[in-house]
Amino acid sequence: MVYSDELMRLATTAEIKAKKQFEEIDERAFKNQVKVMNAFRDNKIKAEHFASTSGYGYNDAGREAIEALYASVFECQAALVRHSIVSGTQALTIGLFGLLRPGDTLLCVTGKPYDTLEEVIGLQGQPGNGSLKDFGVNYRETSLTEDGRFDTDAIISAIDDTTKVIYIQKSRGYCNRPTLRNEDIGVLVKAVKAEKSDLFVMVDNCYGEFCELHEPTYYGADLAVGSLIKNPGGGMAESGGYLAGSKRAVELCAYRLTAPGIGGETGATLGQNKSIIKGLFYAPHTTAQALKTAVFAASLFEEMQLDSSPRSDETRYDIIQTLTFSDEQPLISFCEGIQSGSPIDSFVTPVPWDMPGYQDEVIMAAGTFTQGASIELSADAPIRAPFTVYIQGGLTYESGKIGILSAAQRVLDQRSGK
Ligand SMILES: *Cc1c(COP(=O)(O)O)cnc(C)c1O
């Protein structure tokens, strides 16, 4: 890889300007590592927990230890953590179908939910496919305020007798809006529970884990849900998802995952325990590497006068960095640059395609060890205006920086007509 002198000059300045943010990120990673190490000690994690089970997987001590570990780290009563959950979307689907019943209303308070959830809820897709709507679950939505905060008055007045789940998407997803802070989620939890005490508050926590000192469950959310090929898997978990929260909420989700009456007591782990445990051990550090990569990217894009968010000096509540182009072509070049600066499949050219669950074509650059892992450096964009690319991950700051430089070089080359 060859970077121009111009790019290296910009990169040096960008890195110097990012120093203070890097220090804060390292400090938070240390505090989160303390939390994780304490959880390992409290739950007496030992080599036997790495053992594999098959069949029903009864009495899988490792599986039970993993779920206790997650409950400790998320500072809540219980967790369901399974390598067999195929994605974040499936984990969220288990949460929604676990908590909601016919006649209930799901109230999403962060505007339009993440693209893949639309078919789950029944806002898109074929009637009869088994969406919440097919099962008689109603849907309502309130938007965030113009400055990206909860519209508490609108939320409270949208709650009625049928409201069962208040749904919060913490991270921006494929939207240009700020990511929510867990403390602010806590304030909303109090307000909605004062209005109706038997509600469940469920948080799509994807990309948010370990960016702050406490997870949404610490602040009273009944359920936090995410993917193991994002932050909490630490780049080690081969696949999976988690749901962490109150005993009752997690139990209902376990009944949905397996069968009522069986719940979380079964599930062979097929040799995946060690990578999940090791991944959680790495997660605070790996998330910090991704955060530093994002801050470096923001700082560099600022030097390049590109339209990017969040700013390099802003406190972050997830690992996403966005970059908006005026049209499709530079966006595709940028993604090609990320791909070429990746350890795996660096020779491949990413192209937009009709990904299942998404309404627009999506381009995804991810030269990753684990297929589609977005805790590894990746960039993706739905092909629609505004032409925004979502950048996240970086297993190590050094490799993340290399990927960002490769993409930035493509943008500079294109500007100078190369
Ligand atoms: C990644 C993500 C999901 C789930 O995506 P999968 O690709 O199914 O793992 C849901 N919500 C948000 C905000 C996400 O970032």
Mutating to test ligand 1, I would choose from 227, 320, 391, 392 the residue with most ligand atoms within 8 A of its C-beta, which is 227
Whether this prediction's pTM lies above 0.85 is answered by yes
Tell me how far apart the alpha carbons of residues 256 and 269 are, in angstroms, rounded to a whole number: 18
Q: Does the CB atom of residue 275 touch ligand 1 within 6 A?
A: no
For the chain (418 residues), the mean pLDDT of every run of 10, in chain order, is: 93 98 98 98 98 96 98 98 98 98 98 93 95 98 95 98 98 88 98 98 98 98 98 98 98 98 96 98 98 98 96 96 93 95 96 84 94 95 92 97 97 86
What's the CA-to-centroid distance between 326 and ligand 1, angstroms?
A: 26
Are 108 and 141 in contact by the 8 Å Cβ rule? The answer is: yes
- Determine the distance from the C-alpha atom of residue 11 to the mean position of all C-alpha atoms in its chain, rounded to a whole number: 27
Task: Indicate whether residue 239 lines ligand 1 (CB < 6 A).
Answer: no
Q: Is 207 near ligand 1, meaning CB less than 6 Å away?
A: yes
Q: Is 171 in the pocket of ligand 1 (CB under 6 A)?
A: yes
CB of 206 within 6 A of ligand 1: the answer is: yes
Measured CA to CA, the distance from residue 390 to residue 60 in angstroms comes to: 38
pLDDT tens-place string over residues 269-301:
999 999 999 999 999 999 999 999 999 999 999
Q: How far apart are the first and last CA of the chain?
A: 16
For the CA of 374, the closest atom of ligand 1 is: 1
pLDDT given for residue 175 in this prediction: 82
Give 132-158 pLDDT, tens digit per residue: 999 999 999 999 999 999 999 999 999
114: CA distance to ligand 1 center in Å? Answer: 7
Instruction: Encode pLDDT of 319-370 as tens digits.
Output: 999 999 998 999 999 999 999 999 999 999 999 988 877 788 999 999 999 9
Question: Which atom of ligand 1 lies nearest, measured to the CA of 90?
Answer: 8
Alpha carbon 270 to chain centroid, angstroms: 25
- Identify the residue whose C-alpha is closest to ligand 1 atom 13: 173
Q: Atom 14 in ligand 1: which residue has the minimum CA distance?
A: 206
SS (H, E, C) the chain: CCCCHHHHHHHHHHHHHHHHHHHHHHHHHHHHHHHHHHHHHHCCCCHHHHCCCCCCCCCCHHHHHHHHHHHHHCCCCEEEEECCCCCHHHHHHHHHHHHCCCCCEEEECCCCCCCCHHHHHCCCCCCCCCCCHHHCCEEEECCCCCCCCCCHHHHHHHCCCCEEEEEEECCCCCCCCCCCCHHHHHHHHHHHHHHCCCCEEEEECCCCCCCCCCCHHHHCCCEEEEECCCHHHCCCCCCCEEEEECHHHHHHHHHHHCCCCCHHHCCCCCCCHHHHHHHHHHHHHHHHHHHHHHHHHHHHHHHCCCEEECCCCCCCCCCCEEEEECCHHHHHHHHHHHHHCCCCCCCCCCCCECCCCCCCCEEEEECCCCCCCCCCCEEEEECCCCEEEEEECCCCHHHHHHHHHHHHHHHHHHHCCC
What angle is formed at CA 92 by the lines to CA 395 and CA 167, rounded to 5 degrees? 110
